[in-house]
Every structure is written in structure tokens, then in C-alpha cells.
Amino acid sequence: MPKIAIIGAGSIIFSTTLVNDILATQSLNDSEFVLIDPALEKVKKVEDYTKKIIDKNNLSAKVWSTTDRKKALKDADFVITTFQIGGMEAYKIDYEVPLKYGVDQCLGQCVGPGGIFRGLRSIPVLREIVQEMEELCPNALLMNYVNPMAINCIGISKSGRINFVGLCHGVQTTLDLIAGYVGVKKESIDFLAAGINHMAWFLKLEKDGKDLYPIFKENLEKPDFYINDKVRLEVTRHFGYFMTESTGHLSEYLPYFRKNKKALDLYCDQPAFGGESGAYYKWCDYIAKKYEEVDFLGFESGQLNPRGKDYCSYLIEAKTTGKIFELNGNIINKGFITNLPENCCVEVPIFVDKLGLNPSKVGDLPMQLAALNQSNVTVQMLAAEAGITGDPELAFAAAAMDPLTAAVLTLKEIRDMVIELFEGQSQWLPQFKGKKPKKINIINIPEGIKGVEVPLDPALAVANRFGKLGGN
């Protein structure tokens, strides 16, 4: 009977999906679930939902909820993190303040100013969890779902020595799309995907040894295919490989697609995750208000649904029973991708068995793909270091290096935006203790001012000399 602690279990849709998947796994339906959330009223609803499933299906699982995280973590075998520090109040600031400065985010969750500040809010809590796990359940496996995935995983790695993996849905859902584009069943596709979270590249797509990329690339040139996912397919056309995540996500990771109205109208004109401004914030706000008004879990019958695509239950099953399972997970780079930095967070194939996580060495990514990944790795490593050290200047540097932000704003504008984000979110940023980046004003140059004498570059000195000679 594994003990599974879910931190942030008040996240109703996500938590109930994870619980259902685990209970639908025969070898795990005697598990002990501990649901942790400061909002006890919400988490009690998830507890009641879980009890309905257990009772209706005559399972031997147990479930209880608490606000006491240490009590919940004691002797846990698996810890799942799925929380959002600051909730919708903070998320609104993540979206609206950058938009005021001209940075238009579709999700604002994993990269960009919104992703950076979500990471700064999350890392202190993740650090506490890691330290508590070292004391209370040092052999447990931490499965992180909290975004921004890469920033938070780097923060976890800097917080202690707990075994962990970051889990996402990008590879599974993208493979469904690829299968439709090439007319092949998903189960028949042999693939290799690697890179960073939300920017993992499908380096190989084959069926029975035959390369599927030619037909994929042929179809993406067709308007009825292209319109579905303009940004991802445009990147494939120019850089040669398809990748995980939607147009909306990817449009934030690169400087080409959201920097002005022309680019937005051309590439991000589809609704929702097709590039719409604030799509995920608006959806989350709608769902939050919907669940405030009606307790939808109260209408659940206790029906146990088949397992979904999420990796979590399969990973727990593999670690518990020894049944080998392969997934794409987010871990710290220890030479798995050789042309990305050590200690960044990479998403690579991982085999799981009773002994734990066994990551695969991918080697070098094609140079152009590594370069695109690196543009975001730099931001992620700066943001994680800022979150750990409480250095606001590193937080500014992370925003300044963000590809979309840098494509839109000057350094002065970025600094002013970051200061405003700090001022709006100080209550969720304890590691900064009221600190924020210093304000730097524009230096005004009076009309007619003459610059001080400076040494000339030798080449300029020669050019200047000849210029004067020519004038004589």
C-alpha cells in the first residue's frame, strides 16, 4: 500500500484526474491518499469524491485530508505537487502588468514575465517541501506538476537531495496530433523526443523503420493543416523538426510571433491556445468562478473511469511493482543532452522500474534546436537562481533575457515592468523581503551637449586622419 501525498489537492480538476487514474490501476487501488491544501473546504470536496469511488468500487484504498503538510509527508512513498501560489489574484498581475507594457502573453505560465514570477512565487514553497521530505520521507519520489516546470525543477534541485521528476502532457498530446497528420496509429509510431519542457523536439518519427517526417512535412504545407497550429508548423518549416506544445505556448518561447500586431495577426489569430491574448488566464478565471458557484463534485456518482494519458499512475505503478514504463520527464541535465548546460532542466526519455528513474543519454541536439532551447534555458537558470537567493537583479536579468520580452521592450521598460510586478506580488515573495530591482532613470542629454574627449580606436584614428587630409 503506497502512501501518496498530493500537495495542492484543492486543484479540483487536476487532483481528481490523478486520483482516478491511480485508483483505476489494479496494483495501486489499495493506496493511501493524503490530500494537502490550505483551503480545507476545497480539499474536503476532493476527499468526498475519492471516498465515493472507493466505496462504489469496493476498493481498499484510504483517503484523508489535512492542512498539516508535515503530518501528511511522514513516511510518504510518493509526493505530488500541483499548486498555484497566489492563485488567480497573482495570475491576473502576471498577465495584466506585462500587457500594459506591451508584452502580450497567451498563457503567461511557463516563460515570459508571467512564468518568471510564477516561478519566483513557487520556489520558496517547493524548497520547504524538499527540506521537509529530507526529514520525513527521504526515500520518496517527488513528482512535480507545478509550472513553470523548468524553473521550478531547477529550484528543487538547488533545495536539497530529494529524487524528483517533472511531469507534463506535451509529448502524449502532441503524439496524438502527429498520428492524425501522418495517418498512422499512435501506437505504431517509434519516436525520440528530447529538449526542454514545452520545447522538446521530435528527433525521430518512424513506423516500421520508415521515416514519417516526409509525409508530415508535406501535409503541414496544406492550409487546412497549417491553420490548426501556425507557430509550431512555421518553426518546423524553418528549423526542420516538430515539437511539443501548442501555438499559444510556443509563440511565447520565441521572439518571432508575438512582438507586434503584424506578427500576432499573421500567426496568433486563432482562438484559445491558437494564440489568443490571455487565453489560459481567461479560461482559469472562468473555471475558478464556475466552481465557486456550483459544487460539481457533489454530482459525481463514484464511477471509476479508465486511466488517461497522464504519466503519474504509470510511473507509480512501475516504481511500486517493477513493471517497466517509459516516459518523457523533466530532470536536471547531467550530460543527457550534451550541448545544453549541465544543471539546466531537460526533458528526455526515462525508463522507470522498481529501482527508480533511469534517464537516457540523447547526446547533441541538432545545433539550431539547441540554440532555440538555450534562449530559454538562460532565462530559466537566472529565474531559478533569483528564486533561491532572493536577488531581485537576477529576476530582472531573467526578464531581460526572455526572447519575447526582449523583442518588445527596452531595458528601461523591462526594469520598470519588473519593479511593478514586484510591487504587486510582494506578499507571495518572502525570499526577497521587500526588495525589488533598483530604479534606473533615463539620462537626459541637453541640446548642444558635447561629449568628453575619449581615445579613438586605432582604425578610427587612421580614418579620421585621412579624412582631415582629404579635407585639406
| Confidence (pTM) | 0.95
- Furthest CA-CA distance within the chain: 102
Nearest-angstrom CA–CA distance, 6 and 65: 9
pLDDT (0 to 100) of residue 471: 53
CA distance 82 to 60: 25
Catalytic residues: 169, 253
Question: Which of 188, 131, 190, 192 has the alpha carbon at shortest distance from 162?
Answer: 131
Beta bridge partners of 144: 81, 166
| pLDDT of 470 over the 70 cut | no
Distance, in Å, from the CA atom of 303 to the CA atom of 439, rounded to the nearest integer, reads 57
Q: How far is CA 260 from the centre of its chain?
A: 24
- What's the helix, strand, coil split of the chain in %, to 5? 50, 15, 35
| Residue 392, preceding peptide bond in cis (omega within 30° of 0) | no
Q: Dump pLDDT digits (tens) for 164-213.
A: 999 998 999 999 999 999 999 999 999 999 999 999 999 999 999 999 99
Q: What is the pLDDT of residues 12-71, one digit of tens each?
A: 788 999 999 999 999 999 999 999 999 888 899 999 999 999 999 999 999 999 999 999
